[in-house]
A and B are shown apart, each in its own frame.
Chain A
Amino acid sequence: MKNRIINLFDSKGGDVLNVYFTAGHPELNDTAKIITALDSQGVDLVEIGMPYSDPMADGETIQNSSQKALKNGMTLSLLMEQITTLRKSSDIPIIIMGYYNQMMQYGEERFLQEASEAGVDGLIIPDLPMDVYAKQYKNLFEKYNITMSFLITPETSDHRIRMADELSTGFLYVVSKSSITGSSSTISDRQKAYFNHINSLDLKTPRLIGFGIHDKATYDTACEYAQGAIIGSAFIRALEAEGGLEEKIGKFIGRVRS
């Protein structure tokens, strides 16, 4: 079967919305419900965060949702089960995002194999260095038909951007500014200049802009400069408000894409 993420970018050249949330949050068994609701709202791609005790690159919102999810009893094997069940009714492309230590302790090949069997299409492991991936894991990712997205930031040299472009399959993750996740300011001229610079490099991989994308204005701007955007912390905050899951999700996506 062709990879769903590759399919998505083959058929859609812009306005791709990727929504991130933490598995097992707000409630342990919300994972499938949230994805189903996002799917019915026309979201293109979902990114499931595997909750981690020490998420180095994440701000308060994701730290807290992760801690809550762990307290709820979230584990990797449970996540695999939840995705397996969901796959019977949904064909939305799915990415798992987590830290290298989680994959390492699970066993890297076991992790990739089970993820693939469950119906996962791609991974993002922000602390897995490109050279280690290229040497130890690239072949395994190909064997299990799972894409990998590397991050680039305003501090990343052109040389490394090209490396990340070469190694990434699916899409390249453009971190909008030098920060952890969860900020919510407007997009500055300096950021736009950085996006323009990336666009001038003639890269092969589609790009999604993430970190700090939190409302319609920032989403629209991101879509002007890339194939789409990733919304994480702002969505998690919306999930934490009062009300039913479906209704909250409908309202949030409706506002971003109005």
Chain B
Amino acid sequence: MTYQVDDRGYYGEFGGAFIPEMLHANVENLKKRYVEIIYEADFQKEFDNLLKDYVGRPTPLYLAKRLSALYGGKIYLKREDLNHTGAHKINNTIGQILLAQRLGKKRIIAETGAGQHGVATATVCALMGVECIVYMGQVDIGRQAPNVARMRMLGAEVRPAMSGSRTLKDATNEAIRDWINNPEDTHYIIGSVVGPHPYPDMVARFQSVISEEMKWQLKEKEGREQPDYVVACVGGGSNAAGAFYHYLDDERVKLVSVEAAGLGVDSGESAATSVLGTKGIIHGSRTLLMQTEDGQIIEPYSISAGLDYPGIGPQHAHLIESGRAQVYSATDKEALTAAMELSRIEGIIPALETSHALAILDQMKLKEEDIVIVNLSGRGDKDLATYIDHLDELT
């Protein structure tokens, strides 16, 4: 069994490119050229240099001793929160801006939910002096004011998505519509391992630096490259895809995906896509998604805007269906509690998305000898308003 994309753009039965003809030329061009471009020596050199000097990579692999004492095993944190702009998202936007330049594109569009991908896109556009338009659901603009301000300060135009439920999926629709209207000069920087092929694979390759570093870092610390578990939260699934990438074919490493349960998986207010979802098509990809019997896409719910997406990347659908990855879910409350706990015992305030990954350590029933890496996908600065709202009940 292979867990990487095949030459038709599928992961098992998931993936593909179900797009209207208006997008075909651009997506086909990307598909033909992305592999060749990103493995050119000069691309690789520029990418590596920017990741090192601008983003601050490699990010540390940190043994969280007090967290380990609490849950058993040896728990390492892969510190993606220490990246420039505060999350893993920038690994992808650096890669895609370099690619856009080589495709001769002069204008960048992106979608964003919590604003992390929007900020990471606005950042690389500022760095390269390229026009940047970020679509963001009107509801999210209200919820994430500091990130909206950051994007504006970085010179991006933030356009409210007024359609549908006015959140992440609608911002994605608006970005796609913009691309249809501007096929010649524009590149669409998708923020996760979603969308039509080749996006899921391309974004995973840019994020794969996470597990590439994990391997040599763990080797230095433990004398072996492979942990027993890699744990990551899954919204669309890009931080998880990057953390899993170099371990996919090593079955000794158990892959653990954590979804947002919202108020509870069966509460009607949840984003636990792999449990609540069925096979279908969202944003050009065949995957698992939350939908009605009539195929209308259901708006999910999570306290974390970055996990509030009704689908998952097609590779994750395949990993879950094939049993290669194990899925857990964490509720809003469990995530908030985990955020508070990590802050108190390790001095690290995690992003709300990441807190979902931390929240399931208890359920894993770790053994003393287990080595676990949790991908600490982002820092909690952007979530302070939410944390402040809940500070009293949590302390």
Cα–Cα, bound, A53→B310 (Å)? 12
Any A CB within 8 A of the CB of B129: no
Is B169 within 8 A of A54, CB to CB?
Answer: yes
Task: Check: B180 CB closer than 8 A to any chain A CB.
Answer: yes
Q: Once the chains bind, are A63 and B281 in contact (CB under 8 Å)?
A: no
Cα A101 to Cα B293 in complex, Å, equals 11
Interface residues of B in 1-51 (CB under 8 A from A): 16-22, 24-26
Pairwise interchain contact B181-A160, C-beta atoms closer than 8 A: no
CA distance A102 to B111 in the complex (A): 24
Check A175–B22 contact: CB distance below 8 A.
yes
Q: How far is the CA of A179 from the CA of B181 in the complex (A)?
A: 4
Chain B residues within 8 Å of A105, by CB: 278, 280, 291-295
Q: Report yes or no: B22 in contact with A54, Cβ–Cβ below 8 A.
A: no
- Do B21 and A104 touch across chains, with their CB atoms under 8 A apart? no
Residue contact A54 to B297, C-beta cutoff 8 Å: yes
Which residues of B lie under 8 Å from residue A156 when comparing CB positions? 21, 24-25
- Bound CA span A142–B17, Å: 25
Given A59-B177, A75-B294, A178-B181, the answer on whether A53 and B18 have CB atoms closer than 8 Å is no
Within 8 Å CB of A56, what residues of B? 19-20, 173, 176-177, 283-284
Residues from chain A with a CB closer than 8 A to the CB of B295 are 52, 99, 101-106
B363 within 8 A of partner (CB): no
Shortest C-beta distance, B24 to chain A (Å), equals 7
Q: Tell me how many residues of B have a C-beta within 8 Å of chain A.
A: 35
Cβ of B160 under 8 Å from chain A: no
Given known A53-B297, A105-B280, A155-B183, contact A100–B177 (CB-CB < 8 A): no
Task: Specify which of A55, A128, A179 is in contact with B18 (CB 8 Å cutoff).
Answer: A128
A175 partner residues in chain B, CB cutoff 8 A: 21-22
- Is A129 located at the chain interface by the 8 A CB criterion? yes
Proximity string of chain A (125-166) to chain B, C-beta cutoff 8 Å, 1 when within and 0 when not = 011110010000000000000000011110111001000100
A178 to chain B: closest residue by CB = B183
Q: What B residues does A106 contact at CB under 8 A?
A: 294-295
Q: A126-B20, A180-B177 are in contact. Are A100 and B281 (CB under 8 A)?
A: yes
Chain B nearest CB from A183 CB (Å) reads: 9
User: A67 to chain B: which residues have CB within 8 Å?
Assistant: 163-164
B17–chain A nearest beta-carbon distance, Å: 7
Whether B24 and A160, one on each chain, are in contact in the complex, defined by CB atoms closer than 8 angstroms, is yes
- Given the contacts A54-B173, A76-B294, A127 and B24 also touching, CB distance less than 8 Å: no
Report the minimum CB–CB distance from A66 to chain B (whole Å): 10
Beta-carbon contact of A153 and B22 below 8 Å: yes
Within 8 A of A (CB), among B280-336: 280-284, 291-297
A82 to B: closest C-beta gap in Å: 15
Q: Which residue on A lies nearest to B296, using beta carbons?
A: A53
- Give the interface SS of chain A, mostly helix, strand, loop or mixed: loop
The residue on B at minimum CB distance from A102 is B295
Question: Is A60 close to B, CB under 8 A?
Answer: yes
Contact B284 A180 (CB under 8 A): no
Closest chain-A Cβ to B300's Cβ sits at a distance in Å of: 13
B21: chain A residues within 8 A (beta carbon): 126, 150-153, 155-156, 160, 164, 175
With beta carbons under 8 angstroms apart, the residue of A127, A164, A178 that contacts B19 is A127
Inter-chain contact A100/B18, CB cutoff 8 Å:
yes
Q: Which residue of A lies closest to B29 (CB)?
A: A155
B297 partner residues in chain A, CB cutoff 8 A: 53-54, 101
Q: Could you say which of B17, B183, B296 contacts A52, with CB atoms under 8 Å apart?
A: B296
CA distance A101 to B294 in the complex (A): 9
Picked from A76, A127, A150, A178, the residue with its CB within 8 Å of the CB of B281 is A127
Task: Please state if A63 and B20 are interface contacts (CB–CB under 8 Å).
Answer: no
Q: Are B164 and A127 within 8 A (Cβ)? A: no
Question: Among residues 32 to 63 in chain A, which have CB atoms less than 8 Å away from a CB atom of chain B?
Answer: 52-60, 63
When distances are taken between beta carbons in the complex, the residues of chain B under 8 Å from A178 are: 22, 180-184
Residue numbers in B under 8 Å from A99 (CB-CB): 281, 295
A160 to B280, CA, bound (A): 26
Q: Please give the distance in Å from A92's CB to the nearest CB on chain B.
A: 25
In the bound complex, what is the Cα–Cα distance between A52 and B163 (angstroms)? 12
What CA separation (Å) do A60 and B163 show in the bound complex?
8
Closest CB in chain B relative to A77 CB, distance in Å:
8
Given contacts A105-B293, A127-B18, 8 further A-B contacts (CB under 8 A): A54-B173, A54-B282, A102-B294, A128-B18, A155-B22, A156-B21, A178-B180, A180-B180
**Contact sample, A vs B, 30 pairs, CB 8 Å cutoff:** A53-B164, A53-B296, A53-B297, A54-B164, A54-B169, A54-B173, A54-B282, A56-B20, A56-B176, A56-B177, A56-B283, A57-B22, A57-B180, A63-B163, A70-B296, A99-B295, A100-B281, A102-B294, A105-B293, A105-B294, A127-B19, A127-B284, A151-B20, A153-B21, A155-B22, A156-B21, A175-B21, A178-B181, A178-B182, A179-B180
Report, nearest first, the 7 A-B pairs whose CB atoms are least far apart: A105-B295, A155-B25, A126-B20, A151-B21, A53-B296, A101-B281, A102-B295
